[in-house]
Structure formats: C-alpha cells, structure tokens
Structure 1
Amino acid sequence: MSYPARIHVGITCPPAIGHLNPMMALGQELKQRGHRVTFLQVLDFENPIRASGCDFYAIAPSDYPPGTSANFFANLRNLREPAATRYWFEEQQRVAAIFCRDLPVAIQNLGIDALIVDQNEPAGATVAEYLGLPFVSVSNGLMMQREPDIPPVFTLWSYEKTQWARLRNRMVHGCVNALSRPYSQVLAAYRRKWKLPPLPQGEILYANSKLAQISQQPSVFDFPRSQLPRHFHYVGPLRSPHPQPYSQICSFPFSQLTKQPLIYASLGSLMQNQQVFTCIAAACEGLKAQLVLTHGGSLSDKEAAALPGSPLTVSYAPQRELLARATLTITHAGLNTVLDSLTYGVPMVAVPIAFEQPGIAARIRWTGVGEVIPGDRLSVRGLRSAIQQVLTLRSYGQKALLAKAAIAASGGVTRAADIVEQAIWTGEPVINQSIFNQQTISLESVG
C-alpha cells in the first residue's frame, strides 16, 4: 500500500504547559518527517508554539485574550481539593463549549486532515467524530483509562484486586462523574446536535481514539492492567531529541553549583505554594547536599532569600540538565517531572497536592522509586525523614535505574510519531502485540 507523503495534522490540548510541551515534541517530530502541524490553541501559547516550528491558529481570541491562562492558574494556586478540581472542571466546561463552537469551521478552513487530541481535551475527539476525521489520542498526563481494580487517579490508594477495593473505586468514580456532570453535559449536547452516538459518563470525559491511544508513561510506571484496548501504546516520555539549548531561553547560574550531591525540587507550573517551598528548604537544611529549588516565579527575591538553609533558588531551571546531575528529586508528583527524573534514574520524594498528582504518587510508591508524603500531612520532620530514607537506602536508586532502562527502550516521541502516521494513513487500529506483557517494578525483583 502506498501512503501519501504529507499530511496536515491539527493538535489540541488543554491550555497548560505540562500538556503543551509533550505535544510540541510530537509536533516537531512529525514536522521533521515532512508533515504540516498546526496547533489549535489559545493566544497565551502562541510564542512557544511558533518557536517550536509548528503552525499556530488562535482559538476564540475574544473569549481568551492574552493573560487569560495566567489569571486562571493564579486563581487555581489558591485553591485546595476538592475546590481545585471543581474549578478545573468549570473551566473545562467553558473550553469544551468554545471548542465545539469554533473548531469545526477552523479545521475545515485550515484543510486539516487528522487530529492529535489530548486525552483531557474530549471536545477535540467529539469534533473529529463530527467531521469524520481520523484522530489519535495522547495521554500527556496520567492515563485516565478506568478499570475496576485501578484506583481513581485523584487518590493515593494502591492497587488492590479485591471486592472491597473495586467497590471503593466505583464509589469515587461516581463522585467524579457527579462533580463533572455540567462539563460532560456540554459535550453530550453537541453530540446530540451532531447526531453522534451517546457516550457513558465515564467515557465522555476523556478522548480515547479507536485508532491509537498513546501514553507517555512507560509500562513499568503503572499498576497492573487487564482491560486496555489492543491499540493502546505505552511509549514513554514525549521529548524532543534535539531540544533548544536552555541558554537560549534563559540563564541559570551553573557556576553556583557545588560538588555536593544535588537535590532538585520543583512543584511544577500549576500549584506553587510558598509554605511548601519553606518546608522543603527547612527539611534540606543541614544535609550534606545542595538544594536547587525552582519556584516558577511565585517567590519574590526577598522571599527566596529568606528560605532556610540558603538554597539555590531560581524562577525556572533547565530541568533535564539538573536531573542529569541530581541525586534526588522533590516533586509535586506532576507526570512530566516524575518521568524526567526516571529518565535519568533519579529517585524521588513526592508531595502530591492536587488533581491526578496523588495517583502519580501512588505509582511512585508502588514501583519503589521513591517515598510519598501527602500535601496535607507535610511537615519538616516527616519530609526530612523521607529524604534521608531515599538517600540512604539503595533500593530506591536501583528501582529508578530499572525505570530508566525501561524508558530508554519504550520508543518515546519517535515511536509515537510512527503510530500517528500508521493510524492516519491506514485508518485502521494500530495494534500493540505486547500490550498485556507489561511488567511492573517491585522491590522483590532486585537482587
């Protein structure tokens, strides 16, 4: 069978940098293969998208003028659960309505042949169905495929194959369905309007392609699965093999790094919290290690200087360059930071705060690559104890190195692009023959 040499791919994802960065890496890979790639996104992210070499189309510029995303995330940082998740769903409800309203005409006018849709942007999937376009779904955050034995992603629960655990999981999923019902009703209304088949509440919330479902998790960083579709693919982190040098983006004081073991601390881009930063600095004070703390601009120079122990603090840091030198990561359990840490074989102490972070932290604990302290139980004493435990016991580092090897063999952005091309060119499901042969890391497997 002969395939067309060039396709025009549209990409949609939530307006959040943690979802955008992996998609830009995938977009760059497809562009290098000769395809045209257009991001359908809000104005706040025009500059990084164009800098990646991909095309940009502004969605609803009057509804989402520049600064809208920054205001949303500033409000989000002041909320705790369940208010944070409720606020997120309210915004997603608004985004879904606008995407369903504006995307069909935009896609047709741009001449887009197929879509890549973030799993957490189900409006993109509904629009693709309406237009009859092939689409591939990508889980840039923790994969949301539900199974009876898999705990809800918003919980710290571990995997249990028991009737009690299944009942518990089902009850919480029911609560999530109820909390998100206004959001799903927007999508359901458009599906009725466009004469598309109805979807159950647990399915309409997420974009799951019938051609190919891609996750940037490696298979080793998940609970045991038994119900994944045959066209599901664990490919590992989606990262550009040739990233722009950090020095071209902003500066970092590499000369201030000492020869002590490096502890890298980051709370990601969504939920910066001064109290947590203070606790991290106090917990690391006096250790025979250097703490490098990135705060995303949420601390003033005065506040940063007042942190205990005088850590090296910056607004933004070259994460991968620092992880290549790091001994330990302290993280909010955001998936991108966790995957970057495992890519370099660095064990972690996780402090999950909101959204699917507890579910990611539960997998850190399950796979033995780190320790977990829930955000609402965080204390200097407890965090310091966890840090010392991970630094002292060799098993954490050994597990992280096993994960590093698994990630290196997962295929990453190259394999993801192969899957996208095959799905779009053939219009047939891309079958993963090894989907049920995944292995999870356990402490017992290390000699």
Structure 2
Amino acid sequence: MSRFLFVVPPLVGHINPTIGVGAELAARGHRVAWAGDPAVIRPLAGEDAEIFPSGEHWLSTPVRMPDVRGPRALKFLWEQFLGPLAEEMAPGVEDAVEAFRPDVIVSDQQTVAGGLVAERLGVRWATSATTSAEFTGALDGMPKVDVWLDGLIAELRGRIGDPASTADPRFSPYLVLAFTTEELAGRVAVAGDRIRFVGPSVAGRPAGDDFPWEWIDPARPTVLVTLGTANADAGDRFLAVCQEAARSRADRLQTVIVDPAGSLGPPGATGGSLSGPDDKDVLTLPFVPQLPLLRRVDAVVCHAGHNTVCEALWHGVPLVVAPIRDDQPVVAAQVADAGAGVRVRFGRVTAPKLGEALDAVLHEPGYRAAAERIGASFRAAGGAAAAAGHLAQLTSLTGEATTVPEA
C-alpha cells in the first residue's frame, strides 16, 4: 500500500478531479489524503476524508480580479493569488508530509507549494493539471512574460523550495496528469514527454435532492447557464443577457440559470416575472446538481472554465463559451477550434447575439457531433482509473527524474 497526498488550492474546479482519482486509489488499497483548506475540500471529499489544513486562513480578504487581460492578468494572478498562496500553504504542506509520510505528492498546477516542498524534502511528486492552457503554448510569443515568471518562481523556490533545483513546479519532472485529451487540447508545446492525457476525472459528488426534476419539459431542449463558483461577482450583466435571450425563445427551449449571487433577484421575483419552479421557461437557482443535470440538457452556456467544459463534453453537450479571465480564453479557443461550440464576448454580447449562438449549437448538428467525438475520446482515455494507474506506477520508479512510461 502506498500513500498519496493531494495538494490543492481552495478552488472547487481544481479539487473535483482529485476526488475521483483519490477514490480509485483508495479502492486499490492505497491511502489518500489532501492538503488545503478543509472548508472547501470536506464538502467534496466527504466527512471521512483525511485532510491536513494548509493555507486555510490566507484568503481572509477575497482577491478581486481587476478588469485586465493578457500579460497584466497573468501578472496579477501570480503576484496577488498564486504566489501568496504558495507561501501560505508551504508550512501546512510540510506538516502534512511530516505527519502523513506520502510516497507521492500530487500537486495541483496552481499550488506550486506542493512541488516546491516536495523537491526540498525529497518526495517524488506529480502534477495535477486541471487546465491545459499552460502546456499548449499559451505564452508563446511573450518571452518577457516567461522571463518575469521564471524570476518570480525562482524567488519562491529560494524561500520554500530547494534552491539547487531547476524544475518548473508547474510541471513535475516525473508525471503530469492532464485531465483532458488532445482531441480538445491540441498539440502540446511544454513538458510533452511527461504529460499523460487521462481525460476528465468525472466522479460523483454531493448533489442534494431538492432540484425540481419534474420541471424539465422533454418536449423542449433544455439549456444550462453557469459561470462556475469563482465568477459570481462578475456575472450580473451576462446572466441578465442570458435570461433575456432565453425568454425570447421560450416557445422553443427552457433554461436553467445558476445564480449564486442572486444577481437576477430572489427566485420568484426576477424583474417582476417568475424564476422558480412555477416559471415554465426559466429556472433560476443558486446551485444545481451539475453532473446529473448535464445528462438532461442539450446545450451549456458557460465561462469556458475547464472543469465545466470537460464535464459538458463528457456528456456530448455542445457549448456557448464566454471566457472571462485566466485560462478561459485558451479553453474557449480549444472548444471553438474543435467545432464543439461557439465563442461569444463575455462583456459585450447582446441577447440577440447570444440567442443566435444558442440556435447554432442546438440546431446545427456539427456542434453536437464534435462534442460527442471529444466525449468519446475522454472516456477512451480512462479518466480517474487511468490517472490512478499512472500514480501507482510512479511509486515503483527509480532515479531522480524518471518519467512514467506510456501505458
């Protein structure tokens, strides 16, 4: 039996893929634990999960992303979020390693504390890449950005890692688990010898039992609109546009809108019109059981978050993607290039334009065909079982930086 420690950020979309992998490893007799914020991990991993607190208090004041794009957005992300997160998590990760004694650390690509602490303590580690943006050449043509980021990572390494190491903590020298496939991500430009495309790790998670399933009308297509868990503060205008586009097509479809911030008003009082189960056209809820719902919907409108995109495509559901920030423009481009969806501008799209995009993905068969093709590639890649297999294989390797061989 081996021990695996998952080091994860306080982001649901980055924790979710590790849940299925952890369950698969446990089913094979291994011991699994997580290091991160218990308040975020526990509802996803379950009450019996072994969790070591790490960086759980650092985000006492929410970090609000300014309206910037490109290199400025990347600079803000590293200086205000990923860098401070690494330094805050490092002591907790070290304590977890001391207490749990893992054979392998599985570090999320955005919690570089996992890789840096692992290299300093001499523990073999793998990268969990919940987005493919960073190894598909997203920063090509921006050498100054590369130099700046290399310098920032070197400073972090000097404080919490092994100063003698040269490995990029975003890409393990042993194994990078990519929860996607080349059918969506395209050709890799970085760490290609270490990347193993395993497809999404789609595992069951707590969903609640209060969704009004009887509301769904099988005679009309159903659309899901969601901006994920980290974008509630940015979605007021966009959700209103989606609602307007949905209402203008009420004779042809019905729409579920996820509105955690209540920007459309409380259910039952949205602009003077119903938005609860008594409204037969638009259902607005603060939370939905996304995985079960994806089995029942015909299209998804989202922010191009990697988790939501992959879960939709797993179910063969085409998308309308409206990227906001971070890796989302890269993922949106992947969806559009693969023919599995239509990209619109988050800050400028109008209800008529959004409606046209919806009409396209719902009624032009090429979009669904592409989504189903990518979904088939996901299932063939093996998901959580394949990821667990690669991790188990990593425990048997010898040498300083021997990569896991292809299956």
Name the TM-score, length of structure 1 as normaliser.
0.80
Q: Which residue of 2 aligns with 1:35?
A: 30
Opposite residue 271 of structure 2, the aligned amino acid is A
Match of 2:352 in 1: 381
- Check conservation: 1:230, 1:431, Cα contact below 8 A: no
CA distance in 1, matches of 2:157, 2:146: 17
More displaced 10-residue stretch of structure 1: 40-49 or 328-337 = 40-49
- How large is the RMSD of aligned CA atoms in angstroms? 2.5
- Report the Cα distance in structure 2 between the residues aligned to 1:208 and 1:111, rounded to whole angstroms: 22
Query: Is the CA contact 1:268–1:296 (under 8 Å) kept in the aligned structure 2?
Result: no
Match of 1:144 in 2: 134
8 Å contact 1:278–1:308 — kept in the other structure? no
Provide the residue aligned with 1:283 in structure 2: 245
CA–CA distance in 2 between the matches of 1:233 and 1:400? 21
Superposition map of 1:79-94 within 5 A: 79-82=66-69, 85-89=74-78, 90-94=80-84
Alignment check: 8 A CA contact 1:27 1:54 kept: no
2:2 is the alignment partner of 1:7? yes
CA distance in 2, matches of 1:393, 1:231: 38
Per-residue deviation, 1:386: 1.3
Q: 1:58 aligns with which of 53, 60, 69?
A: 53
SS at match of 2:299: strand
SS of 1:57's partner is strand
| Aligned residue-pair number | 389
Alpha-carbon distance, 1:360 to partner: 0.3
Give the aligned partner of residue 160 of structure 1: none
Letter in 2 for 1:424: T
2:214 equivalent in structure 1: 255
1:133 to 123, 127, 132: 123
Aligned position for 1:174: 144
User: 1:49/1:325 Cα in 2 relative to 1: closer, same or farther (>3 Å)?
Assistant: closer
Q: Distance in 1 between matches of 2:340 and 2:121?
A: 44
- Compute the displacement of 1:141 (Å): 2.3
Secondary structure, aligned partner of 1:72: coil
Amino acid paired to 2:52 = Y
Q: Is the 8 A contact 2:7 2:93 kept in 1?
A: no
What does residue 336 of structure 1 align with? Answer: 307
Which secondary structure state, in structure 1, belongs to the residue aligned with residue 184 of structure 2? coil
Residues 296, 316 of structure 1: 8 Å contact kept? yes
Deviations along 1:348-402, whole A, 9 cap, x unmatched? 1111111110000000111000100122332212211211122221111111111
Q: In the alignment, residue 403 of structure 2 is paired with which amino acid?
A: P
Deviations 1:46-86 (A, max 9, x none): 5325516420111255x44xxx47x526x34xx32247655
Aligned ranges for residues 374-413 of structure 1 at < 5 Å? Answer: 374-413=345-384
Following the alignment from structure 2 to structure 1, what is the Cα–Cα distance between the partners of residues 391 and 75? Answer: 33
Q: Which residue of 2 aligns with 1:3?
A: none
Consecutive unaligned residues in structure 2, runs of 5 or more: 276-281
Return the alpha-carbon distance in structure 1 between the equivalents of residues 247 and 44 of structure 2: 39
Q: Distance in 1 between matches of 2:51 and 2:173?
A: 26
Under a length normalisation based on structure 2, what TM-score does the superposition of the two structures give? 0.87
Match of 2:279 in 1: none
State the percentage of identical aligned residues. 22
Aligned pairs for 1:87-102 (under 5 A) are 87-89=76-78, 90-102=80-92
- Answering whether residue 193 of structure 2 is matched by residue 210 of structure 1, we say no
Distance 2:184 2:273 in 1: 34
1:187 alignment partner in structure 2: 156
1-structure distance, mates of 2:147, 2:107: 21
Q: C-alpha separation between the residues in 1 aligned to 2:163 and 2:236?
A: 49
Q: 1:308 and 1:358 mapped to 2: Cα distance?
A: 34
Work out whether residues 36 and 89 of structure 2, in 8 Å CA contact, stay in contact via their aligned partners in 1. Answer: no
Tell me the equivalent position of 1:225.
188
CA distance in 1, matches of 2:268, 2:201: 34
Question: 1:134 and 1:318, CA in 2 relative to 1: closer, same or farther beyond 3 A?
Answer: same
**Among 40, 43, 47, the residue aligned to 2:42:** 47
1:258 corresponds to which letter in structure 2?
A: D
Q: Residues 302 and 319 of structure 2 are in contact (CA less than 8 Å); yes or no, is this contact kept in structure 1?
A: yes
Task: Kindly state the Cα deviation for residue 342 of structure 1 after the two structures are TM-superposed.
Answer: 0.6
Partner of 1:437: none
Q: 1:229 to 1:96 in 2, by over 3 A?
A: same
- Structure 2 counterpart SS, 1:400: helix
Distance 1:362 1:350 in 2: 9
Runs of at least 4 residues of structure 1 off by over 6 A?
none
| Structure 2 partner of 1:119 | 109
Is the CA contact 2:180–2:197 (under 8 Å) kept in the aligned structure 1? Answer: yes
**Unpaired stretches in structure 1, ≥5 consecutive residues:** 1-5, 153-168, 434-447
Distance 1:228 1:98, change over 3 A: closer
Q: Structure 1: which amino acid aligns with 2:212?
A: P
> In 2, distance between residues paired with 1:390 and 1:49?
31
Post-superposition offset of 1:244: 4.5
| Counterpart in the other structure of 1:164 | none
The residue number in structure 1 matching 2:341 is: 370
Which of 296, 307, 311 aligns to 2:260? It is: 296
- Secondary structure of the residue aligned to 1:305 is coil
In structure 1, how many angstroms separate the alpha carbons of the residues matched to 2:119 and 2:312?
37
Change (3 A) 1:106 1:327: closer
2:197 and 2:32 mapped to 1: Cα distance? 23
* Residue deviations 1:217-275 (CA, integer Å, cap 9, x gap): 122001233664333111110122xx2462xx352111222221101111111112111
| Structure 2 partner of 1:350 | 321
**2:67 partner amino acid:** R
The corresponding residue for 2:405 is: 431
Label 1:401 to 1:103 Cα distance change in 2 as closer, same or farther (>3 A): closer
Deviation at 1:182, TM superposition (A): 7.6
